[in-house]
C-alpha cells in the first residue's frame, strides 16, 4: 500500500517488546511536553503490559487532553443521506450484495426535514455520510453539493447548522473542489485497515477495493485546499498495534508533504451489521482494555489531533474513554437515511450502542465537569489546516475553546434543554466562569449577556 512500509512496522513492533520502565517514563515526559511521538516510541507504549505503567499512560493522556483542549467536548450528529453503495465491503450493512437493506437516497426536502429534526434537538454540527456512488460520478457530486447547501439553508429559532463535515467516497480533484466551494468542514476518509492483504480480503468489489486509490484521496483533497482532513481505522480488521503504527506513517507522510497532519482521527470499532456475518465475528476485535490503551496512546502520539468517538461504543465505555483523550463525540445518532423522523431502522448501516438523547449526554458531560460544545468557530474564522495546528500545537487553542464552548452551551440551554439540564447548565456555567482568569471571564460574561439579550451564534 502506498506510503506504508509493512516490514519496518513489524520490525519496530518486535524491537519494542524489549522496552524497559525508564524508556516508558521518558516517552511519557516527551509526550507531556506536547511533542508528537515517533513510531518507535509509540510501539513501546503499545507493548506496555504492567498495570502501574499503564496507569501512567492513562494519566498522561488525561493531562495532555486537558492541556490542549481544556474541558470541552464537541458534540455532533451523523446525517446519513443515502445508503446506495457500489462497493462490497464485507463488514458493512450498505454493501452492494446485501439484498435485505432497504435502499434509500433522501431527496432535498427529506434532507431539509432531517436537518430540522437535528436542529430541534439542539445539534449544530453535522457529519454527512453516504454510501459510494449513485448512478454516475457527476450525479453523485451534484447530489452531495445540493445536500450540503440544503442543510446549511435550514433555520430553527434563528439558528442554523454551523459546520458540515463529510464522510464520503474518494472524489476526483475537480469534485473535491466543488465540495470545498460548498463550505465543508473536515473531509473524513478512513483507510479501514493499512494492512494490504487484509484490505484486499475485506474489500471485494467496487472502486474501494483499490487501496492505493483510497489512501491517495487525501492528496487530492489537500491539492484543492481542503486542509482539515479526518482519518481512521476500523478496529477489528487487523492487529491494532500494526494499524496504529501504519496510521502514524500515513500521518508522517501528510505532515512532510502538506505541512499538517490530520485534523481528526476516528476510532470506530466494528459493530454488528445486518447483512454482514463478518461484522458479528471480526478477526481481530480489540478487547475493552485494548481499546482504552488505543485511545490513550493515540492521544499521546498525536497530541494536537482531535479524537472522535461515535455511538458505536456503549454509554459506559464512552464515559470512560472521554477521560482518556476523546475530544469529539456523536450523540443521539441514527445510521439509516431518514432515521431521525422515521421509526423504521431497517436500512441502518450498523447497530448503535449508546442510545442516550443529546440532552442526557449534555447533562452527563457536565456532571463529569466537561463542557459540552457545539462550537464551529475555528472553521468559520479560517483557523483550519496549519493555521489551526500553529495554535493547537503549543496548547493555545483551549483559550478560544474555553469561551466558545460556554457560549454554545448557553445557547443550547436557552433553546433546547430540558428543565433539569437547564438548571444544571446554569450552575455549571457559573462554576466555569469562577475558574477563568479575569480577562477571559470578562470577555465571556460580555458575550453571554449578548446571548441573553437575543443575539445568536456569537463566537471568538
Ligand atoms: N462509504 C464511504 C466509505 O466507506 O468511506 C463513507 C461512509 S461509510 C458509511 C463510513 C464508515 O463506516 C466506514 O469508513 C467504516 O469505517 C464504517 N463502518 C462500516 N461498517 C461498519 C461496521 N459494521 N461497524 C462499524 N463501523 C463500520
Ligand atoms: Fe459502501 Fe462505505 Fe459501506 Fe463500504 S463502508 S459498503 S463503501 S458505505
Mean pLDDT of 183-212: 97
Q: Is 218 a pocket residue for ligand 1 (Cβ < 6 Å)? A: no
**pLDDT tens track for 19-62:** 999 999 999 999 999 999 999 999 999 999 999 999 999 999 99
Q: Residue 170 Cα, ligand 2 centroid: separation in angstroms?
A: 12
Are 215 and 196 contacting, i.e. CB atoms less than 8 angstroms apart? Answer: no
In order of 292, 329, 363, 392, the CA distances from 368 in angstroms are 18, 15, 9, 24
Cα distance between residue 122 and residue 379, in whole Å: 19
Ligand 2: centre distance to CA 188 (Å): 13
* Residue 131 Cβ contacting ligand 2 at under 6 Å: yes
pLDDT value for 66 = 87
Q: What is the pLDDT of residue 93?
A: 93
Q: Are 241 and 46 in contact (CB under 8 A)?
A: yes
Angle between helices 39-47 and 288-301 in degrees, nearest 10: 150
Q: Is pLDDT at 384 greater than 90 in this prediction? A: no
What is the C-alpha to C-alpha distance for residues 385 and 119, in angstroms, rounded to an integer? 27
- Name the pTM for this structure: 0.96
pLDDT of residue 344: 62
Q: Which atom of ligand 2 is nearest to the CA of 83?
A: 8
Closest residue to atom 19 of ligand 1, CA basis = 92
Question: Which ligand sits closest to the CA of 237?
Answer: 1
Q: Is the CB of 389 under 6 A from ligand 1?
A: no
Q: How far, in Å, is the centroid of ligand 2 from the Cα of 253?
A: 25
Report how far residue 276's alpha carbon sits from residue 286's, in angstroms, rounded to the nearest whole number.
19
pLDDT given for residue 343 in this prediction: 63
Atom of ligand 1 nearest to the CA of 94: 9
What is the CA(89)–ligand 2 centre distance, in A?
6
**Burial class of residue 320, CB neighbours in 10 A (0-12, 13-18, 19+):** middle
The average confidence (pLDDT) of the chain is: 94
Quote the percentage of the chain above a pLDDT of 90: 85
User: What DSSP string describes 372-439?
Assistant: EE---HHHHTT--HHHHHHHHTTT-HHHHHHHHHHHHHHHHHHHT--HHHHHHHHHHHHHHHHHS-HH
> Between the CA of residue 114 and those of 72, 107, 111, 368, 400, what are the distances in Å?
26, 11, 5, 30, 30
- Grid cell at residue 168: 464520503
Q: Which of 78, 94, 128, 209 to mutate to test the pocket of ligand 2 (most atoms within 8 A of CB)?
A: 94
Give the end-to-end CA distance of the chain in Å, rounded to a whole number.
Answer: 42
User: What pLDDT, on a 0 to 100 scale, did the predictor assign at position 454?
Assistant: 95
E strands, 208-351, in order: 229-232, 264-266, 306-309, 328-330
Q: Is the CB of 81 under 6 A from ligand 1?
A: no
Q: Is the pLDDT score of 291 beyond 80? A: yes
pLDDT tens profile 318-355: 888 999 999 999 999 998 999 998 666 667 776 778 88
| Residue 349 Cα to ligand 1 middle (Å) | 8
Name the residue of 81, 82, 90, 92 to mutate for ligand 2: max ligand atoms within 8 A of Cβ. 92
Is the Cβ atom of 282 under 6 angstroms away from ligand 1? no
Ligand 1 closest atom vs CA 131: 1
Q: What is the pLDDT of residues 76-107, one digit of tens each?
A: 999 999 999 999 999 999 999 999 899 999 99
pLDDT tens-digit series, residues 219-269: 999 999 999 999 999 999 999 999 999 999 999 999 999 999 999 999 999
Which domains can be identified in the chain, with CATH numbers? Answer: 66-392 (3.20.20.70), 397-452 (no CATH)
Predicted confidence at residue 341, as pLDDT, reads 87
Nearest CA to ligand 2 atom 2: 131
Residue 313's pLDDT band (boundaries 50, 70, 90)?
confident
Amino acid at each position: 500500500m502506498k506510503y506504508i512500509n509493512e516490514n519496518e512496522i513489524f520490525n519496530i513492533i518486535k524491537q519494542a517488546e524489549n522496552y524497559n520502565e525508564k524508556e516508558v517514563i521518558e516517552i511519557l515526559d516527551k509526550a507531556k511536553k506536547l511533542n508528537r511521538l515517533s513510531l518507535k516510541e509509540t510501539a513501546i507504549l503499545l507493548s506496555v503490559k504492567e498495570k502501574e505503567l499503564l496507569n501512567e499512560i492513562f494519566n498522561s493522556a488525561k493531562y495532555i487532553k486537558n492541556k490542549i483542549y481544556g474541558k470541552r467536548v464537541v458534540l455532533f450528529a451523523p446525517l446519513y443521506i443515502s445508503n446506495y453503495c457500489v462497493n462490497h465491503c464485507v463488514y458493512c450493512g450498505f454493501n452492494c450484495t446485501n439484498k435485505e437493506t432497504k435502499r434509500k437516497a433522501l431527496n432535498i426536502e427529506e434532507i431539509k426535514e432531517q436537518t430540522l429534526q437535528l436542529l430541534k434537538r439542539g445539534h449544530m454540527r453535522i457529519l454527512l455520510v453516504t454510501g459510494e456512488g449513485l448512478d454516475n460520478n457527476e450525479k453523485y457530486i451534484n447530489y452531495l453539493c445540493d445536500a450540503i447547501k440544503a442543510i446549511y439553508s435550514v433555520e430553527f429559532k434563528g439558528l442554523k447548522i454551523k459546520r458540515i463535515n463529510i464522510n464520503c467516497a474518494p472524489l476526483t480533484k475537480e469534485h473535491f473542489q466543488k465540495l470545498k466551494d460548498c463550505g465543508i468542514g473536515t473531509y473524513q476518509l478512513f483507510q479501514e485497515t493499512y494492512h494490504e492483504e487484509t484490505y484486499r480480503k475485506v474489500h471485494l468489489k467496487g472502486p474501494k477495493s483499490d487501496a492505493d486509490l483510497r489512501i491517495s484521496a487525501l492528496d487530492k483533497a489537500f491539492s484543492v485546499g481542503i486542509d482539515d482532513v479526518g482519518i481512521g481505522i476500523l478496529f477489528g480488521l487487523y492487529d491494532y498495534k500494526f494499524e496504529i503504527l501504519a496510521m502514524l506513517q500515513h500521518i508522517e507522510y501528510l505532515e512532510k508533504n502538506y505541512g499538517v497532519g490530520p485534523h481528526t482521527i476516528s476510532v470506530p470499532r466494528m459493530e454488528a451489521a445486518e447483512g454482514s456475518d463478518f461484522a458479528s465475528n471480526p478477526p481481530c476485535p480489540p478487547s475493552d482494555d485494548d481499546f482504552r490503551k488505543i485511545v490513550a496512546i493515540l492521544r499521546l502520539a498525536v497530541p494536537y489531533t482531535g479524537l472522535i468517538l461515535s455511538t458505536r461504543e456503549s454509554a459506559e465505555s464512552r464515559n470512560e474513554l472521554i477521560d482518556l483523550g476523546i475530544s469529539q463525540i456523536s450523540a443521539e445518532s441514527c445510521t439509516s437515511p431518514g432515521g431521525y423522523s422515521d421509526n423504521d431502522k431497517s436500512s441502518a448501516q450498523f447497530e448503535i450502542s449508546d442510545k442516550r438523547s443529546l440532552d442526557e449526554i449534555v447533562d452527563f458531560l457536565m456532571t463529569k465537569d466537561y463542557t459540552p460544545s457545539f462550537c464551529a468557530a475555528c472553521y468559520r474564522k479560517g483557523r483550519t489546516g496549519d493555521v489551526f495546528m500553529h495554535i493547537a500545537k503549543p496548547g493555545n487553542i483551549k483559550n478560544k475553546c474555553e469561551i466558545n464552548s460556554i457560549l454554545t452551551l448557553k445557547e443550547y440551554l436557552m433553546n433546547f434543554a430540558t428543565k433539569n439540564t437547564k438548571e444544571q447548565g446554569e450552575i455549571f456555567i457559573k462554576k466555569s466562569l469562577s475558574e477563568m482568569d479575569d480577562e477571559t471571564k470578562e470577555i465571556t460574561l460580555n458575550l453571554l449577556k449578548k446571548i441573553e439579550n437575543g443575539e445568536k451564534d456569537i463566537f471568538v
